[in-house]
Structures are given as C-alpha cells and as structure tokens.
Amino acid sequence: MVIENLVKVISNPNVNEALEALRDAISRRRVVLLVGACIVSYKGRASSELGLGDRIVLIKEDGSILVHRPRGYEPVNWQPPKCLFNVHLDGDNLAIRAIRQKPRETLQIRFKKIYFLSVMTLEDAGEFSLYATEEDMKKAILLRPSIIEEGLRLVKYEKKVEPGFIDLYGVDEEGRLVVIEIKRRTAGRDAVLQLARYVESIRTNVKRDVRGILVAPKLARGVQRMLVSLGLDFKELNPKTCAKILKRYKTKKLSEFTF
C-alpha cells in the first residue's frame, strides 16, 4: 500500500516535471499553488494583459483560479469556479489556460520560471458563521420592534412594491403605515432615495398616511437635510445591538426547551 503525501512540494521543477504534476493534480481536482515568473492575458467580458513578473497562482478543487501579485487584496487576474483547464507547453514554457464557458472567458498564464509548485489534498469541513448582517438587523427588529419606536407593529416582511423590496413594513402607534429601510452601515443618498421611492409607491396606492424610516448606525453627511426635505425619519440602530438581541433571543428559546 502506498501512502500518498497530502501536501507535495516541488522546488524549482523543470518544465516537464511541472507539466506532469500539474496535469495530474488538475485531473484529480487537487488544490495547486504555483509561484513563478509569468505573463498573463485575459479575454472575456473585458480584456487584459499583464507583463512579466513574479506571482502566486492558486488553483482550487472547484476549478477556480487566482493570480496574485506581491501586493494588493485583490487578485490581478482570476477565473471563478467551474472552469476547464488546459496545461501545455508554449515553446520551453509551461502554459495554463483556464476557460469559463458562460460567459465565454479565457485566462492564459505563461510561466518563464517556476520557483515552486505544490499539490495539496486539503480537508476543510469547518463551519463559517458571520454575525450581524443586514438580515440579522431585520430579524432583531421583527423580534423587538420597540427598538425602532414604541407601539410599532410589523405586519409584513419583505413586501414587494413596484421599485423593489421593502425591508420591513408595519403600522405605528397612531395607525399610520410605516416603511422601514435598513442599512447595516452609514446610510447615504442611495438609501434615502430607495426609501423615498418605496414610500412614494405606497402613497399612490393607499389613502392613508405613510411614513418612511431609515434605520442605520449612522447617516452620511448632508443626508439628514435630504431626509427632512423628503419628510422621512431616521432611527439610529447599531448592528451590534441587533446581534445582542438575537443572541439573547436564541438563549431564551433554548431555555424554553430546557426548562
């Protein structure tokens, strides 16, 4: 029985070694890291050319590929999951073509020199959880509408109106309709305009008072004036506050089962 290395590293491979290892790795859907000097060209939704330089190329199990320069958060070139690979020789150099079918896009990487190549069998079943998103804020407000204002009753969730989807919809203490637009970060003009369009759309269909409340941790500069002139309200609400409410609620629910 042969026990295969889960992580294989080849330093300074020659072109044929690299070619063979890469073809094998891709056919087996392994994760591959390549570091070397290369030129890159891309044609598809746009086109790009990248001159010679040292880069890190990461090919993943799902057929995605990333080309990273030594600086910057974003990859300089890439291809999303599910693309097809073709590894071949371009003269004396190793070349990788990654082709996406729809939309048709082609990424070509030509290596002048490969410093190292690694083929890896990685196991990753870890759960990822992100807290305090806009969705969480919505849930927290539904659980406890009083964080917006006393007497508020929420009657609809993601109501469809003409310009799009309303985040939250309800009735206030005095029976007026309330439209709520939620932003998890500083709300700008766009958020106000969005809310204004929703309110306008409902006003044209209903013979009742309609209020619009923008809910966000903060307003961008100059936006307050805009809100006032459009007759809309603002309610400060921090995503962290919402996370706490959700947490408490979950604990409570759990305790309901426990006791």
Partner DNA sequence: TGCTAAATCTCGAAC
Partner DNA sequence: GTTCGAGGTTTAGCA
Q: At what angle do helices 134-143 and 239-258 cross, to 10 degrees?
A: 60
Identified binder of DNA from the candidate list 30, 55, 97, 100, rule CB under 7 A: 100
Candidate ranges 17-25, 43-51, 168-176, 228-236; the one touching a copy of itself (CB under 8 A): 43-51
Cis omega before residue 239 (within 30°)?
no
Identified binder of a copy of itself from the candidate list 3, 72, 102, 207, rule CB under 8 A: 72
165 CA to centre of own chain: 20
Judged by beta carbon, residue 83 or residue 141, the one nearer a copy of itself is: 83
Candidate ranges 79-87, 119-127, 141-149, 209-217; the one touching DNA (CB under 7 A): 79-87
Residue 124 interacts, among a copy of itself, DNA, none and using kind-specific CB cut-offs from 5 to 8 Å, with: a copy of itself
**Within 13 A of 259's CA, how many CA atoms are on the CB side?**
5
Q: Quick check: helix, strand or coil at residue 196?
A: helix
Q: How far apart are CA 140 and CA 239, in angstroms?
A: 9
Residue count, binding to DNA (CB under 7 A): 38
76 binds a copy of itself (CB under 8 A): yes
Identified binder of a copy of itself from the candidate list 130, 146, 222, 257, rule CB under 8 A: 130
DSSP state letters, 238-255: -HHHHHHHHHHHHHHHHH
159 binds a copy of itself (CB under 8 A): no
Which residue has 């619009």 as its token pair?
212
Residue 167 interacts, among a copy of itself, DNA, none and using kind-specific CB cut-offs from 5 to 8 Å, with: DNA
Tell how strand 210-216 and strand 233-236 pair up: parallel
Identified binder of a copy of itself from the candidate list 95, 143, 220, 243, rule CB under 8 A: 243
Dihedral, CA of residue 179, residue 184, residue 190 and residue 192, to nearest 10: 40
Residue 249 interacts, among DNA, a copy of itself, none and using kind-specific CB cut-offs from 5 to 8 Å, with: none
- What phi, psi does 14 have (nearest 5°)? -80, 170
∠ CA 7-60-62 to the nearest 5 degrees? 130
Residue 105 interacts, among DNA, a copy of itself, none and using kind-specific CB cut-offs from 5 to 8 Å, with: DNA
127 binds a copy of itself (CB under 8 A): yes
- Euclidean distance between the first and final Cα of the chain, in Å? 54
Identified binder of DNA from the candidate list 12, 54, 80, 253, rule CB under 7 A: 80
Judged by beta carbon, residue 154 or residue 226, the one nearer a copy of itself is: 226
Residues that bind a copy of itself (CB under 8 A): 6-7, 9, 11, 31, 33, 35, 39, 45-56, 58, 60-62, 64, 66, 68-73, 76, 78, 80-81, 115-116, 118, 120, 122-133, 163, 184-185, 189, 239, 243
